[in-house]
Chains A and B, each alone.
Chain A
């Protein structure tokens, strides 16, 4: 239920978190909801744009003092549930008050914050974008976490916001464009650009079945007494979704990230999470991303939800259930490695029900070239090449030309015999196919500049 506010002096009720009373300028205080009951309930049989799944119920809930609250698929008993031993996830509709919602979520989790040591906050700053695009973490969610920590007597000097953008993109630029930089300045919190080559790493090894992986994890992750992962809920055209588990890919060095793409991305995400210290997740679904995520080709969705919990596997499973997106394999792999619980029935859900927040997201098309005249030889590239190429292919999809194959990524496997010319994009593909007689021209870089890629594509299409 959404919070209502009260002016103690004027005795007025405010329905929006406007902060102060227009009459006497006094600070508004949240109204304690106390006991409440369902006043009336209806069942809606017709679908609408935000509520495609029908029938659904809507309840008008009345509190002790006669205030009303509307709630879809309300589960009154849920609020009094006592947290058990199972994985626990808090789901909350954010409403107009994102800061308050984040704080409520964290309060429900009852976190014990160590009195000393660093607190590391890891948002998602994939590419330089505004928060309204759904590509990066909403700064209000980050601010909510910071405010919670400060209210719990954590000195701002102990808090560090750290991130490393997609290879080829500038993390500081992303922090500035998303306004996360401003939040850090406002609270005098240091921002750490992990993509800086000087950042110290620790090598960690892990096995999954017969496969052995290693990751160079930034040392700061192990040096911190508390790590809070603040991903944004997104679709991802390589992994299906990007949320809690996937976001931690940002705490390893660029060479390790490239290796993840060269090997199995699904397995490596699970393995990476198995070697990291236990972390807390506050998933930002206020402005999520659907369609061709995780970057600029995706479409922002005002989902207005915040999820929090200690179990990233449980959070990702709930996100899949609520958004109707297919569960990626890495969720099950992570469960197998003991990272967390992937079965919804075994997760304790506090706050709002999944039904209340459920909304169908458009999934990302998997590895399908958006350009009719260009076929892709997928060598599982990292996000740098992938995002750049996809952007260019969408931009040029109405420019027809001679058919061509573009190879990118390191794990290129030419199973079928290709009689046409192959064009290589990025250093990985060039290295792999340098001796292939079909290789015609190359576009070097790691990743290549997006303008260079566009020129390269147009040149390929225009060839005789």
Chain B
């Protein structure tokens, strides 16, 4: 059965005054307008959200969705998979097309205006093995970076290149958290240290935002984009349980399955939105996805191969690093970007004539990974 993306919607990402219901509402309305469908047509909704319970004391999002759209006649379910929450929601929405004609995946997160935001995010790691040992997420990815440096001789200058590229892309993306912010290498290299070797500019920001994607079995307009593959895999929750922290097994496994499902190879991907919650994560992802061989991701980066309109454009939206990372909304926002790019609607940050796009959404230290592949 063929599956399509029929409509997309996304709020701006950043420090927003909007409430969580408002964010959901705006993203869903935009997706409905984009598809031309009515809320009545959609029978299944999966809402990706991670921190609503911890930060907003707001769960029971299915019912909240009904309160926003009283014409809705189907079921709405909250999906939690840390930073991969809405990637998982999309995966479930696509799977549900076996039963329903239309389905929707929403991603939403409201992170600003909360004291101790690090506390909530850390709940995506193991409470005892990680959190009690001081492993907040920048610390965990810093360990991954140190291990990568040790194994492959990369340096923190390579991380700065990821940051610079993604800020340059976000600078052209109106919905990005750091739209219009001009960043140079000096700023990146002199930013405060968060956790050695990761500096402030190596970390994604605390953002608010939402995105919504409508899926269907039939192409309803020229704008409809085909879903070639959707795959989700897991690995261990704690870094202490990994065998090698310079790679994420769930990502390689999910990518392998997705390529098989789509009948393509890594080299066929024209652009990728990858989960660069920290700069090191983009380098590791580019290897996990098979774009570059192990230990060669940073060399490709140095050669500029991942820039917009280069050989393998990665994160033309600015990624999580500069586009913003409202945790539960990130997976859906990546799909929004991939679909915009394939439609040729991305504007200033448009990649030249892409045919196939990939989205790579990771939860925690890779404990959950969801891969989607789309084509024109």
> Known contacts being A70-B133, A72-B134, A93-B132, is A44 close to B139, with CB within 8 Å?
yes
| Contact between B129 and A60, CB atoms less than 8 A apart | no
| Contact between B239 and A60, CB atoms less than 8 A apart | yes
Q: Which stretch in B4-12, B179-187, B192-200, B337-345 binds the other chain?
A: B192-200
Q: Which residues in chain A, 59-92, are within 8 Å of chain B measured between CB atoms? A: 60, 66, 68-72
| Contact between B240 and A70, CB atoms less than 8 A apart | yes
| Contact between A58 and B240, CB atoms less than 8 A apart | no
Closest to B131 in A: A50
| Contact between A2 and B143, CB atoms less than 8 A apart | no
Partner of A42, one of B196, B236, B240, B241: B196
| Contact between B143 and A60, CB atoms less than 8 A apart | yes
Closest to A359 in B: B132
CB of B163 closer than 8 Å to a CB of A: no
CB of A24 closer than 8 Å to a CB of B: no
| Contact between B194 and A50, CB atoms less than 8 A apart | no
> How many residues of chain B have a CB within 8 Å of chain A?
34
B42 CB to nearest A CB, Å: 39
| Contact between A69 and B195, CB atoms less than 8 A apart | no
B118 CB to nearest A CB, Å: 5
Tell me which residues across on chain B come within 8 A of A15, comparing CB atoms. 129, 236, 238, 240-241
| Contact between A56 and B134, CB atoms less than 8 A apart | yes
CB of B227 closer than 8 Å to a CB of A: no
Q: How many A-B residue pairs have CB under 8 A?
A: 96
With the chains together, A93 CA to B241 CA distance in Å? 18
Tell me which residues across on chain A come within 8 A of B128, comparing CB atoms. 2, 93, 95-96, 304
Tell me which residues across on chain B come within 8 A of A44, comparing CB atoms. 134, 136, 138-139, 142, 194-195
> Known contacts being A70-B129, A71-B133, A304-B128, is A49 close to B150, with CB within 8 Å?
no
| Contact between B196 and A60, CB atoms less than 8 A apart | no
Closest to A69 in B: B240
Tell me which residues across on chain B come within 8 A of A56, comparing CB atoms. 134
| Contact between A68 and B240, CB atoms less than 8 A apart | yes
| Contact between B133 and A72, CB atoms less than 8 A apart | yes
With the chains together, A317 CA to B145 CA distance in Å? 38
Tell me which residues across on chain A come within 8 A of B240, comparing CB atoms. 2, 15, 60, 68-70
Closest to B198 in A: A42
Tell me which residues across on chain A come within 8 A of B150, comparing CB atoms. 39-40
B189 CB to nearest A CB, Å: 16
| Contact between B143 and A58, CB atoms less than 8 A apart | yes
With the chains together, A56 CA to B128 CA distance in Å? 17
B365 CB to nearest A CB, Å: 11
CB of B251 closer than 8 Å to a CB of A: no
With the chains together, A58 CA to B129 CA distance in Å? 12
| Contact between A70 and B238, CB atoms less than 8 A apart | yes
Tell me which residues across on chain B come within 8 A of A418, comparing CB atoms. none
| Contact between B132 and A304, CB atoms less than 8 A apart | yes
Among B134, B139, B193, B242, the most chain A Cβ lie within 10 Å of the Cβ of B134
CB of B147 closer than 8 Å to a CB of A: yes
Q: Which residues in chain B, 238-272, are within 8 Å of chain A measured between CB atoms? A: 238-243, 245
| Contact between B192 and A48, CB atoms less than 8 A apart | no
B-contact bits for A290-319, CB 8 A (1 contact / 0 none): 000000000000001000000000000000
| Contact between A48 and B116, CB atoms less than 8 A apart | yes
| Contact between B135 and A70, CB atoms less than 8 A apart | yes
CB of B300 closer than 8 Å to a CB of A: no
B240 CB to nearest A CB, Å: 4
Tell me which residues across on chain B come within 8 A of A49, comparing CB atoms. 116, 118-119
Partner of A40, one of B119, B147, B192: B147
| Contact between A50 and B139, CB atoms less than 8 A apart | no
| Contact between B195 and A68, CB atoms less than 8 A apart | no
Tell me which residues across on chain B come within 8 A of A110, comparing CB atoms. none
With the chains together, A45 CA to B139 CA distance in Å? 9
| Contact between B133 and A43, CB atoms less than 8 A apart | no
Partner of B241, one of A46, A58, A68, A95: A68
CB of A51 closer than 8 Å to a CB of B: yes
CB of A41 closer than 8 Å to a CB of B: yes
Tell me which residues across on chain A come within 8 A of B118, comparing CB atoms. 46, 48-49
| Contact between B146 and A95, CB atoms less than 8 A apart | no
> Known contacts being A58-B143, A304-B132, is A45 close to B119, with CB within 8 Å?
no
> Known contacts being A44-B136, A70-B240, is A39 close to B194, with CB within 8 Å?
no
| Contact between B130 and A70, CB atoms less than 8 A apart | yes
Tell me which residues across on chain B come within 8 A of A71, comparing CB atoms. 133
B323 CB to nearest A CB, Å: 22
| Contact between A70 and B239, CB atoms less than 8 A apart | yes
| Contact between B142 and A42, CB atoms less than 8 A apart | yes
> Known contacts being A68-B239, A304-B132, is A42 close to B195, with CB within 8 Å?
yes
B-contact bits for A93-121, CB 8 A (1 contact / 0 none): 10110000000000000000000000000
| Contact between A40 and B134, CB atoms less than 8 A apart | no
| Contact between B146 and A40, CB atoms less than 8 A apart | yes
| Contact between A58 and B119, CB atoms less than 8 A apart | no
With the chains together, A51 CA to B118 CA distance in Å? 11
| Contact between B242 and A68, CB atoms less than 8 A apart | yes
With the chains together, A192 CA to B236 CA distance in Å? 46
Closest 5 CB pairs of A and B: A40-B146, A49-B119, A72-B134, A42-B142, A70-B240
Binding site for A on B (CB under 8 A): 116, 118-119, 122, 128-136, 138-139, 142-143, 146-147, 150, 192-197, 236, 238-243, 245
Binding site for B on A (CB under 8 A): 2, 15, 39-46, 48-51, 56, 58, 60, 66, 68-72, 93, 95-96, 304, 356
